[in-house]
Chains A and B, each alone.
Chain A
């Protein structure tokens, strides 16, 4: 089946540094990828929609200069948390829509736990 590989799984960084999270579709082309943020015991909140070859679409309240998204190819999207602060600590998850026939399948990555100290 469709697989989305997300890396790294867990990262701890110092406040003020930047962290890049990668999301790859391994066996299908993803023209659109989605980035979510999830706080403990809460649901997934969509941060932005990443479109291959164009600028990402950010949800209201999400700082585009803080969360840089790049979707340079049909199989790779990256989220960079710039100048990370402790309040950015969260679980970040990507997903891609797998267009196969009439299947509306969305495949999720395994998530990245970011801890900013």
Chain B
């Protein structure tokens, strides 16, 4: 089955700096990836997604990069703000698993003022 994991459990950045959160996946058949933000005691919130036919997608202050060769994706947050402090999960959609999403282990982003 799919395995999606993150390299770092906790990332601490200074307010205003850029943040980079990484994620690796194992199923080369995955063709859709999503980054979610989860604040304490709340459900995950959609941030940005990317399909496997793309290698970069930009949103407001966020960019997702996909490297299918090494099965790696990253989330870049520009000018990180205190409100960005949360746990970030990547998720991969499995082609052979119907509508199921598989989540990575999560990275806690802590923004220092």
Contacts and interface: CB of A to CB of B under 8 A. Distances in A.
Interface residues of B, number: 23
A67 interface: no
Contact of B100 (A34, A91, A105, A110): A34
A6 B43 contact: yes
A49 B98 contact: yes
A43 interface: yes
Interface in B20-78: 32, 34, 36, 41-46, 49
Contacts of A45: 103
Interface residues of A, number: 23
A107 B91 CA distance: 13
A85 interface: no
Nearest to A91: B41
B93 A104 contact: yes
Interface in A70-96: 91, 93, 95
Contacts of B98: 32, 49
A113 interface: yes
A108 B32 contact: no
Interface in A48-67: 49
Nearest to B108: A41
B46 A105 contact: yes
B101 A34 contact: yes
A108 B32 CA distance: 17
B34 A111 contact: no
Interface string A22-42: 000000000010100000011
Interface of A: 6, 32, 34, 41-46, 49, 91, 93, 95, 97, 104-111, 113
30 contacts: A6-B43, A32-B98, A34-B99, A34-B100, A41-B106, A41-B108, A43-B103, A43-B105, A45-B103, A46-B102, A49-B100, A91-B41, A93-B43, A93-B44, A95-B43, A95-B101, A97-B99, A104-B32, A105-B46, A106-B34, A106-B91, A106-B101, A108-B36, A108-B43, A108-B44, A110-B42, A110-B43, A111-B41, A111-B42, A111-B43
